[in-house]
A and B are shown apart, each in its own frame.
Chain A
């Protein structure tokens, strides 16, 4: 059992929890993820680690309530437990001091980009962060990202904060002006990562994306997370989740993300109809 020791609502439907998981925290490195299962009947869900503190043993996870399982996770409060959690999984990002990186985070993807920005910033790399959200209200990790960035830009779809439009437009502007960074790290919705990779390809700037594929075990056993990178099939859970954004077949991946759409809707409807047992009652 993994106990939730802190909980914070970051934005509507976006929540942060800190879980007591000292064994996982001890070895966790930026770019890695955990797989958890809330209860006996739950599914195994992967989540990229947003932060880990080996001293306190607290693992920070940030998630958006999109389906039944994440909504159910959002119902848990401080003191509640998650039945199973395994990690850290995936190949950690090899972070070395560079001169300059740009971190592009979209939506809830800002959370997993934070440990990478932090690692670069601490090494003395110049970090410029670009944070996008639908609205000002949905913008998360603003303060945290400001603390690990030399410069920071924001965008919202409705223009309620920062640039009006997509964050990839800000990226395009910055790259056009130059100078070019050694690396762009983009984490967010697949469409955003695809667009960011297209933008950076124009300027020939190395780009790393972190893929949130559908997984079951998360340890290479099932191949559910397979993705085509540079015409080769890779298991995101073993060789990823970070890949060269210029080489990922995003269109295939976007189609693969819809594999269980009908089932996910059914589960959600059933849950909302009360079959899942609402805790408010």
Chain B
């Protein structure tokens, strides 16, 4: 066969930048069936399948792509769901460019197969055209009962996997809605909440019971969960506490943590204020501090909320920005300015408690630091003032101490993260497992999902041994 394979992938249609900055609807529109089949036909079905090894949850990527190429979209979706219960979300927010697509054989000579876009297409197709979800299965508690704490990516995938393994699973969430960072952090225009709802519905259909508004640690303690008959507890509480730079003026009015800003907009739907009750205030000129996806999400949200000018201030250069390339490009297309090699020094007050500017200093890059990235060094006497009235700090998060401080004897790392085995999620306390950002610190959705899934198998092994059923 000598069909020439295009070196370039098929681009997903997107809302034009000047339209999308005026709405909160999804930016990427997804493939049509024709585009999906054409893109799937680019996969050469190479025997080594490097993409499968590049996927943290081990989806059989060539196999599902083969089904897409044939036009069997529902079959493809089913194939994905063998390994990944949350494909519509992963297809949207996974950094495929550094995972499956990074190792795609086609990538050596051109662009890799658009695996993420295809995954998303299959999941969306199934959501619209697939069979309605079956009646909720009654969980079989004879294999054991597991409490999963936190309904973010780690918790959802752990719960789903445990349900597949036949456990009765109760998923506890402290907020009034499921999804964790998928709900409060990632904006509607990048991950519509109806998709989160639908994927959670799928996990419920597997028999997982969800209890909202329960803060494990205070509403009910972990000890009480064990007393109630749970065989194991999985901690997937995330890296929820926003970190601030500690510069003067950070408590002024008009300064938000990205978590507050995004939670108001996403979880509380403040972009629909006053129809929804939660307010949000955005000025005319906004500075977002940070260079990750959360910074991009905040900047793009601020723009949609009516800011005239949004500037992302990042202390290193573009190469070191942790945000996905796609998100940086989307942000720039929308008119967000990147101010690189600049670091805030202090936030200035207008005399009435509100922000009236941000003093920054120019930076240059020195030798690589612990993170492997070149260390930014301030250039003396290069301070200048950025004229802004709103500042959003997106410089990272710390592990949430609320639950873990209530578990006596739980081994913690230096930064307050839980120490757990990477392969099994085991902590130092028998029966308590952990995974996701609470263990690793801020990382990706898919990494947390991978950890949740591995921990489910760790829990399965633990319960089998405990009950003397062997492996």
Q: Which residues of A contact B (CB under 8 A)?
A: 23-24, 27, 37, 41-44, 68-69, 83-89, 216-217, 219-224, 226-228, 233, 235, 238, 252, 255-256, 258-260, 262-264, 266-267, 270, 275
Contact = CB atoms under 8 A, between A and B. Distances in A.
Interface string B34-55: 0000000000000000000000
B347 to A, nearest CB: 13
Nearest to A228: B251
A88 B219 contact: yes
B278 A216 contact: yes
A267 B274 CA distance: 6
A217 B175 contact: yes
Nearest 9 A-B pairs (CB), nearest first?
A255-B353, A263-B279, A222-B260, A84-B176, A43-B277, A223-B257, A43-B278, A260-B279, A86-B213
B250 interface: yes
Given A217-B175, A260-B281, A263-B279, A84 B253 contact: no
Interface stretch (B202-210, B237-245, B300-308, B376-384): B237-245
Given A27-B219, A264-B279, A221 B274 contact: no
A75 B257 CA distance: 34
Interface in B289-315: none
Interface in B229-268: 240-242, 244, 246, 250-253, 256-257, 259-260, 263-264, 267-268
B462 interface: no
Nearest to B276: A41
Given A86-B219, A221-B242, A222-B259, A68 B277 contact: yes
A191 to B, nearest CB: 15
B184 interface: yes
Given A86-B214, A221-B259, A223-B244, A23 B279 contact: no
A27 B253 CA distance: 35
B442 interface: no
Contacts of A83: 176
Nearest to A237: B402
Nearest to B240: A221
Contacts of A89: 215, 218
Contact of B215 (A68, A86, A267): A86
Nearest to A27: B218
Interface string B395-411: 00000111000000000
A220 B281 contact: no
B3 interface: no
A228 B369 CA distance: 32
Residue among A88, A219, A264 with the highest chain B CB neighbour number at 10 A = A219
B219 A87 contact: yes
A263 B264 contact: no
9 contacts: A84-B213, A89-B218, A216-B278, A219-B175, A219-B240, A221-B240, A222-B257, A223-B242, A238-B401
A258 B219 contact: no
Interface in B405-447: none
B406 to A, nearest CB: 10
Interface residues of B, number: 44
A226 B263 contact: no
B253 A256 contact: yes
B220 interface: yes
B131 interface: no
B244 A221 contact: no
B174 interface: yes
Given A84-B212, A258-B353, A220 B278 contact: no
Nearest to A2: B213
Contact of A44 (B212, B246, B253, B268): B268
B227 interface: no
Contacts of A223: 241-242, 244, 257, 259-260
Nearest to B269: A41
A68 B263 CA distance: 20
B370 interface: no
B211 to A, nearest CB: 10
A221 B279 contact: no
Given A222-B263, A223-B260, A85 B279 contact: no
A228 B248 CA distance: 12
Contacts of A43: 268, 276-279
B174 A219 contact: yes
A23 B264 CA distance: 27
Contact of A222 (B176, B221, B242): B242
Contact of B251 (A84, A252, A264): A252
A278 B264 CA distance: 26
Interface in B167-225: 174-176, 184, 212-215, 218-221
Interface in B150-180: 174-176
Contacts of A222: 242, 257, 259-260, 263-264
B327 to A, nearest CB: 22
Nearest to A255: B353
Nearest to B238: A221
Nearest to B181: A221
Contacts of B352: 255
Given A86-B175, A219-B174, 7 more contacts: A42-B277, A43-B277, A43-B278, A86-B176, A217-B184, A220-B402, A256-B353
A103 B233 CA distance: 41
B253 A259 contact: yes
Residue among A68, A85, A216 with the highest chain B CB neighbour number at 10 A = A216
Contacts of A217: 174-175, 184, 263, 267
A254 to B, nearest CB: 9
A87 B220 CA distance: 10
Given A219-B402, A220-B400, A223-B244, A255 B253 contact: yes
Contacts of A85: 213
B275 interface: yes
Contact of A86 (B174, B241, B269, B400): B174
B402 A256 contact: no
Contacts of B240: 219-221
Contacts of A275: 274
B177 to A, nearest CB: 9
Contacts of A258: 253, 353
Contacts of A263: 273-274, 279-281
Contacts of B267: 216-217
A10 to B, nearest CB: 24
